[in-house]
Amino acid sequence: MREPRWLPWARWIVLGFLSLFTLLPLYVMATTSIKPLGDVQGDFHWIPTTISLQPFADIWRTVPLAHYFANSLIVASVAAVASVTIAIFAAYAISRYRFPGRRIFSVTVLSTQMFPGILFLLPLFMIFVNLGNTIGVELYGSRTGLIITYLTFSLPFSIWMLVGYFDSIPTALDEAAQVDGSGPVGALLRVVIPAAMPGIVAVTIYAFMTAWAEVLFASVMTDESTRTLAVGLQGYSTQNDVYWNQLMAASLVVSVPVVAGFLLLQRYLVQGLTAGAVK
């Protein structure tokens, strides 16, 4: 591709600005996490006057951070995988088949995202309690309940986004696979999924993050043993004090594995059709 001469400049200016914008709060987090609380509450300084690693030791004592972290990781991972699996099937149906009710299904699923969460919190809670009593599975306060909730949160957009990605894969590929003797499901597994891998990874990350970040439902539907990070981190802000330094330290600590996960998934993000799905 021939690039115009101004492009590298434009690239560095835009990406440079975005890097600064992204980094600024991260820098504040990092420096705040190594300041004593007294310094944090005073005037802002770019470079910490006193460096203390104490917050990184204290974070585990102020709230049961490791426990919350494990909860979040389990809930978000299971919800993400389940959501994307269900979404792949639904998106494939919508992208490749025309059947009565297809439009209605898509729009209804989408419309569920238009109702403020705060309002179906109470009805959902009632459903969970009743359902739990009926089938003898504790949904309220359990990770299962939270997983089911989160997976349906990300499901509509996962489906819509996957339809977008699937649509951009030529049907010629499916047909080739069908000629080879695979059924439609075989074509999905062998051709469409590999070809749409970047999209699927993006959607998985999205589904994971939806569950990872959600605060409102987690605050009502969990108890001490199942509380997630999104809610648990608020424990650093107490009646007496906001432990800014510990809050930032804890945020950094719990984000490291997630960022590392992003890094690992990156190679799938850049492997698309170009990587050789077209044979």
- Map the footprint of other proteins across residues 90-119, applying CB under 8 A: 90, 92-99, 101-102, 105, 107-119
Can residue 160 be called a binding residue for other proteins (CB under 8 A)? yes
Site for other proteins in 246-275 (CB under 8 A): 247-248, 250-251, 254-255, 258-259, 262-263, 266, 269-274
Between residues 9 and 51, which has the closer beta carbon with respect to other proteins? 9
Can residue 276 be called a binding residue for other proteins (CB under 8 A)? no
Beta bridge partners of 242: 237
Between residues 8 and 51, which has the closer beta carbon with respect to other proteins? 8
Contact pattern from residue 190 through residue 219 relative to other proteins, giving x for each residue in contact according to CB under 8 A and a dash for the rest = -----xx-xx-xx--xx--x--xxxxx--x
Beta bridge partners of 141: 222
**Min. distance of Cβ 77 from other proteins in angstroms?**
14
Between residues 32 and 34, which has the closer beta carbon with respect to other proteins? 32
Task: Please select the residue that binds other proteins; options are 2, 47, 49, 279, rule is CB under 8 A.
Answer: 2
How many residues bind other proteins, per CB under 8 A?
A: 153
Between residues 55 and 198, which has the closer beta carbon with respect to other proteins? 198
Q: If you search the block for the tokens 């494939």, which residue do you land on?
A: 92
Task: Please select the residue that binds other proteins; options are 47, 49, 50, 179, rule is CB under 8 A.
Answer: 179
Q: What are phi and psi of 119, to 5 degrees?
A: -85, -30
**Min. distance of Cβ 112 from other proteins in angstroms?**
4
**Is residue 137 a contact partner of residue 172, using CB atoms and an 8 Å limit?**
no
